[in-house]
Amino acid sequence: MDINRQQKAPIYEALEEFKKRRVVPFDVPGHKRGRGNPELVQLLGQKCVELDVNSMKPLDNLCHPVSVIREAEELTADAFGAENAFLMVGGTTSAVQAMILSTCKAGDKIILPRNVHKSALNALVLCGAVPVYVNPEMNAKLGISLGMEIDQVARAIEDNPDAKAVLVNNPTYYGICSDLRAIVKLAHSRGIKVLTDEAHGTHLYFGENLPVCGMAAGADMSAISMHKSGGSLTQSSILLTGKAVKADHVRQIINLTQTTSASYLLLSSLDISRRNLALRGRESFARVAKMAEYARNEINSIGGYYAYGRDLVNGTSIYDYDVTKLSVYTLDIGLAGIEVYDLLRDEYDIQIEFGDICNILAYISIGDRIQDIERLVGALQDIKRLYSRDRTGLLSGEYINPEVAVSPQKAFYAEKKSLSIKDSVGCISGEFVMCYPPGIPILAPGERITKEIAEYILYAKEKGCSMQGTEDPAVEYLQVLA
């Protein structure tokens, strides 16, 4: 990485120069630097709306960058150790889908764990690729799925030598990492590309003593949520590619679905955040890891909670662990994770990332302070004292192995009928059902609805999980294949 070059922020600098020129706008957006919408100015501030501009020659164009955006992407590739980088304004959803759509076409096989984000399965609906699931082991106590074991990946490749790609979560939402280097070596030996969903792994590129990042492990493509742990604005992300990937083809694929009216607020936030991480990321993420470890120790000292970390590592299904993730098991105090999540928000004004059936996740990043950690720990201590109860009757488990009956694309576009959740048992789902966050489907199009899955959906609803994916807003009925 060229530190001297990394001090530049070409998109941000071009915007600042543009602002000085006081250009009269006869283009979009129609608010005309905020003059047409004073309430928007009041909400966002004058500087923000003045920088909400359209693509023009001095500011380049994200669909076909030739100047400042091109330079920003080159700086991003350099900072992340990639051959090429693409700035994404459709979130990491767009980046994950671009990875899959540029690697797989209709009928192609892709090897992936079933606990992927819905964006990956949506990509299969769009392109018609066929999933070959490596069903990871479960941690029976924590109720979470673990990493992809190298032996499982080897068997999947042996059974499907014509597969085009292997997709790996690095890390999972809960911080668990697979042996990425070994998976890359194995897949490449068979001519198969490796794609990494690093929505929760931006910091792996800049931290010390953290799990290996996708590009360093030799992955072909990596989708990065810069807005999660990297500090950019929500919805801004990055797609990285290695030497064996044809970048021009990837750009064409991205342009199939990405907006032609890219937000310069998002683009400049990526530019500034990349510069910040390149110059200060190592020290910033060392502080993040230290805060997370401190919080983990403090929460475990309360009793009843289990804030897990590197103690889980077993060298196979949990090859490594991202210590910046503060995942906490709550069932031993008699409360589901989603119940603790709700209490923290409603009673203590603390918003954490998510709660599922067994766990909560507090996202620690470069913007956190030690006093915030202390407040979280104090609230958890209070919740245990005031609300803990017997855990009898609480379900355990975040993931149920599915039976894939037909491809996601075929099921999504098939003729369907609507049935109540209880009556849908035995049928094939034509839609997604998931708790969001984290957005990992309980049920995906093409999967058979079992009694266990139906009961889990109803239980998650009852506990207060935010359910998404169904045509029915109330999630009382499911669309199944007719």
* 275-287 mean pLDDT: 97
Average pLDDT over all residues of the chain: 94
Contact 136, 147 (CB under 8 A): yes
Contact (CB, 8 A) for 309 and 321: yes
- Say if CB 441 and CB 145 are below 8 A apart: no
Residue spans of the domains in the chain: they are: 60-263, 282-387, 408-481
Contact 168, 192 (CB under 8 A): no
408-481 and 60-263 share a CATH fold: no
Distances (CA, A) of 332 to 181, 259, 390, 391: 36, 47, 8, 7
Most confident of 33-37, 139-143, 361-365, 436-440: 361-365
Name which CATH class applies to 408-481.
alpha beta
Which tokens in the block code for residue 378? Answer: 């104090």
| Each residue's pLDDT tens digit, 92-142 | 999 999 999 999 999 999 999 988 999 999 999 999 999 999 988 889 889
32-61 as b/e: b if 16+ CB within 10 A: ebbeebeeebeebeeeebbbebebeeebbb
The CATH homologous superfamily of the domain defined by 282-387: Aspartate Aminotransferase, domain 1 (3.90.1150.10)
For the domain bounded by 60-263, which CATH number is listed?
A: 3.40.640.10
Minimal CA–CA distance to 440: which of 423, 465, 418, 462? 465
Q: Find the mean pLDDT for residues 409-425.
A: 96
Q: What is the rounded distance in angstroms from the CA atom of residue 311 to the CA atom of residue 237?
A: 31
* 64 pLDDT more than 60: yes
Mean pLDDT, residues 265-277 taken together: 98
Q: What is the number of other CB atoms lying within 10 angstroms of the CB of residue 179?
A: 24
Check residue 460 and give its pLDDT.
87
CA distance 352 to 364: 10
Q: What is the pLDDT of residues 372-401, one digit of tens each?
A: 999 999 999 999 999 999 887 777 665 677
Is pLDDT at 337 greater than 70 in this prediction? yes
